[in-house]
Amino acid sequence: MTDHAKTAAAVLTGVGGESNITSMVHCATRLRFVLKDEGKADAAALRATPGVITTAQAGGQYQVVIGNEVPEVFAAIQAATKGGGSDTRAGEAPKGNPFNRFIRMIAAIFTPILWALAGTGLLKAFLAAAVTFGWMDTSTTTYTILNALSDAFLTFLPLALAITAARYFRAAEFTSLAIAGALVYPSIVALNGQPDITFFGIPVTMVSYVSSVIPIIVIVWLQAYAERFLLKVLPGAVRRFLTPMIVVLIAVPLVFVVIGPLSNLLGTTLASGIGWIFQTVPWLGGAILGGLWQVFVIFGLHWGFVPLFQLEYQTTGSFLLFGPVFAAVLAQGGAVAGVLARTRNRNLRSLAAPATLSALLAGITEPAIYGITLPLKRPFAFGIVGGVIGGAIVATGGVFTRAFVVPSGLALPALLGNGDMVLLAIGLGAAVVVPFVLVVLFGFADPGDDSVAASPTAATDTVVSNPVDGTVVPLAEVPDAAFADASLGKGVAIRPTSGAVYAAFDGTVVAAFPTGHAIGLRGVDGVELLIHVGLDTVKLGGQHFTLKVQSGAEVKAGDLLLEFDGDAIEKAGYDLITPVIVTNGDLYPDIADAASGPLSHGETLFRAVSVDSLSTAH
C-alpha cells in the first residue's frame, strides 16, 4: 500500500516546495500544479518517488501522475501545506496562452464532479441493461426510484457546475446556485419549445437547460465581475443582500435572452457536425478519436472534450463520441496484457498485472501508459493501432451511450442496445486482441532479456559498499520509527565521521533531492538504495549540503555524490545518523553479511539478497 503522507512530502519537495506552488488541483489520476518556476521541479526525483507514475507538462500545468490513489495523495498534500492547498482559480495562475487557460479552467470546474457524474452514469448504464434484458419493468416504483437517483445528477448538472465554477471564478457560490436553480426550475423547463414567450416585451427563445454546461459557466464568469463591482459601489449597509438580488435579477434573464440561445446554436452546430462525420464517414471519425485519445491523455488535453461530450448530450440525448473512446482505452489494456504475457522481467510483470486490470476494468490507463507501454515504445504504438481499428469499427456500427461513464470494461452495459451490437463486439474485441497479439508476436526491449541470458535468475544478489566513512550500527538504533522498524526498507545505519557520500555500486542516480539530504541509487542488477543523511534534515532546505551529481547521472562505485557539513548540521539540532536502506523489497527482501563498527567508504557494508536467491535457498 502507498504511504500517502510520504508520497505527498516527496511530491512537495519534487515540485520545488510549497513556496513554488501557485495553485493545485487534481483530476482522476493526476496532481495538477501551477508552479511559479517549473525549473525548480525535479522530474527525475518525482518519477523515482514511490506512488508516482510519471510527470508531464501540458496545458500550462506541471502534472504529477499518481493513478487511482490521487485523491488520497492530494488530501495528504493539503494537510501538509500551510494553506491546506488551493484550487486553481482565475487570477492566480500565469495567464499563458488561451488554449492552456481553457484546459486549466475545464479541469478545475469538472474535476470535483467527475466521479459523481461517472458513478451515477454507471448506475444508469446498469439500469438500462436490466431493462434491455427484461430483468426490470419500467412501470414499477423500484425502477422509478433507481432511475431518479441515477439520472438526477446529470439532469441537474447546472447546479453542480454552479458551485465549481463559482469557486474557480471567485463568485458567491449560493448566488450561483440560485441562478442555476432558475434555469432548471420546473415551470421554466415546461416553457421549452413553447411559442410567444416574452420578458417585459422582449422575445425569448426558450431552450432546455437540463444537463447544460455552457450557460451556467458563462453566467457565473460574468457574475464574478458584477459582484466585485457591486460590492465596491453599493453602501455597506445594503450591499450584502442587494448584490445577490441585483445579480440574479440581471443574470437569469440574460441567460434566457442571449446566452442560452447562443449556446444552444453552438451546441446544435457542433452536434450536427459530429453527426455528419459519424454518418458520412463514421469509420474515419472513429479511427481518429480511437487512435488519438491516449495521446490526448498523455498531455492532459482530454479534458477539452468534456464540454463537447456534454453539448452533444444536451442536443441529441446521447454520447456518440464515447464509442471510439471505449476502443482506445481497452486497446491500451490489451497492449499491457501483451507485455504481461511476454516479459520475463519480474518487476515489469508486477507492474503489468495491476495496470492491465486498471485499464480493462476501470478505464484508468495512466499506470499502463506511463509505467509500461510508453517507456517500451512498441506496446504504446500497438495500442494506438488497436484504438484506430476498434474505434473505426465501433463508429461504423453507430454505437452510442445515454449515460456519462468512464469508458471501461465495467461500463460496457452503457453501450448495450445502442447501435449495432455485432460491430460493437467485433470493434472492442479487435481493440483488445490486435495490440495483444502484436506485442506478443513482435515484442519489445524486455528489461529481463539481458539478465536472463546472463544468469538463471532475473535478479541477483548485490554487494553494497559503504557510502560514508563512519561507524555502522543496526537500523533499529535509528531514533525514527519509520527507519527503525524497516518499514521503509532493510539496511543499516552509519554515524558519519566525514562529510562525503560516495556511490555504493555502479548504477544510476534515480533521485538527487534538491535539498541534498538524500540520494537514491539504482544498481545495474536492479537493487535500489536510499542514503539518507541525518534525520529530518530536509527541513534545512539544502543548507550545509552540496550535491555533486544530478538525477539521471551514471555513476561508478566510489564516485563522490554529495558533501555535507556534519558539524553545522548537528549544531542546528539535527541527528546526523545516516540510514542506508534497500527500497525495492519486492525484489530484494533481505540483507546479509552486514558489517558493524568503524568502516571506511568503499568497504563492503552488506549484501542485498534477491528474491530469487531466497527461493533457491528454500
For the residues of 481-509, what is the DSSP string, one character each? Answer: HHHHTTSS-EEEEEEESSSEEE-SSSEEE
* Residue 334 amino acid letter: G
Q: Which three cell numbers stand for residue 517?
A: 539530504
Other CB atoms within a 10 A radius of the CB of residue 345 amount to: 21
Alpha helix locations (H) across 343-497? 346-357, 366-368, 374-376, 378-396, 421-442, 447-454, 481-484
Question: How far is residue 491's CA from residue 347's CA, in Å, rounded to a whole number?
Answer: 21
Which positions ≥6 away from 99 have C-beta within 8 Å? 59
Question: How far is residue 559's CA from residue 538's CA, in Å, rounded to a whole number?
Answer: 23
Beta strands in 221-346 (DSSP E): none
Known active-site residue 532: yes
Question: How far is residue 267's CA from residue 102's CA, in Å, rounded to a whole number?
Answer: 18
The answer to whether 332 touches 392, Cβ cutoff 8 Å, is no
For the residues of 131-195, what is the DSSP string, one character each? Answer: HHTTSS-TTSHHHHHHHHHHHHHHHTHHHHHHHHHHHHHT--HHHHHHHHHHHT-HHHHHTTT-S
- Candidate list 4, 302, 532, 601, residue with the active-site label: 532
- Residue 554 has phi, psi (to 5 degrees) of -85, 130
Other CB atoms within a 10 A radius of the CB of residue 84 amount to: 10
- Candidate list 4, 26, 27, 517, residue with the active-site label: 27
Question: How far is residue 470's CA from residue 599's CA, in Å, rounded to a whole number?
Answer: 6
Known active-site residue 601: no
Q: Which 3 state secondary structure label does DSSP give 464? A: strand
Query: Which residues belong to the active site?
Result: 27, 532
